[in-house]
Amino acid sequence: MGLNGKKAIVTGGRRGIGRAIVEILAQRGADVLMADRNLEECMVVAEEISLATGQRIIPASVDVTDAAQTRSMIDLAQKEFGRIDILVNNAGVTRDTLIMRMEEEDWDVVIDTNLKGVFNCSKAVIRSMMKQRFGRIINISSVSGLAGQVGQTNYSASKAGVIGFTKALAREVASRQITVNAVAPGFVPTALTNDLPEELKEAMMKLTPLGRWGKPEEIAYAVAFFASDEAAYITGQVLSVDGGMMMM
């Protein structure tokens, strides 16, 4: 599943699952624009990955909730790479709490980042992908978007929205040989999950048949598959990478 010569954008690429995605894509031969809000740290990580893989890793400061910034990100990638083959919409946040305690800001921040951000980035890149008649868009959803989770009405709604968005966009652009798929991770220890209550972590472990938490690189492998030529006949799909949590 080589990606030699491919040009990619990964949002939220500085740490956790996003960093793993950048690393795996680069290891397989892709040049990557790594977008994140924290440019200083992003520059450090980009240099580390570039030195380790020999690929071009371009850091960029982007707030995916801002449509103008996402357009500038696409323009930068086009200028540096000449084309964009792969977009991975990974940027996400959590503001977990029961709905009785949830502030409007908690809802808005999560929906704007996790769902509107996917819209902004996809809209910004889609014209160039349609013109070149090729593209791979991979959206990071969650098992919370498939089954819901206590204390995550905002997060679950955003990630369920990503799944609906994925399927609808896949239908819109399939005639131009652009595929749109989603990966739904199970419980993977990252900065987003560190603050979860211990009882919730234990409960999620019990619901995982493989009996362990996932690793960021295991999510990245699924993304790399969807980005590859081997997945050219797959679109509008949601792949759960969750240790069997959502087994049906």
**Which residues are catalytic, by number?**
155
Q: What number of other Cβ atoms are within 10 A of residue 168's Cβ? A: 11
CA distances from 38 to 3, 34, 35, 49 (A): 27, 11, 9, 16
Exposed, middle or buried by CB within 10 Å (0-12, 13-18, 19+), for 26? Answer: buried
The string of DSSP codes covering 184-198 is: EE----STTTTTS-H
The tokens describing 13, both together, are 């690429």
SS (H, E, C) 32-86: EEEEECCHHHHHHHHHHHHHHHCCCEEEEECCCCCHHHHHHHHHHHHHHHCCCCE
Q: Contact 21/226 with Cβ under 8 angstroms? A: no
Cα 101 to its chain centre, rounded Å, is 28
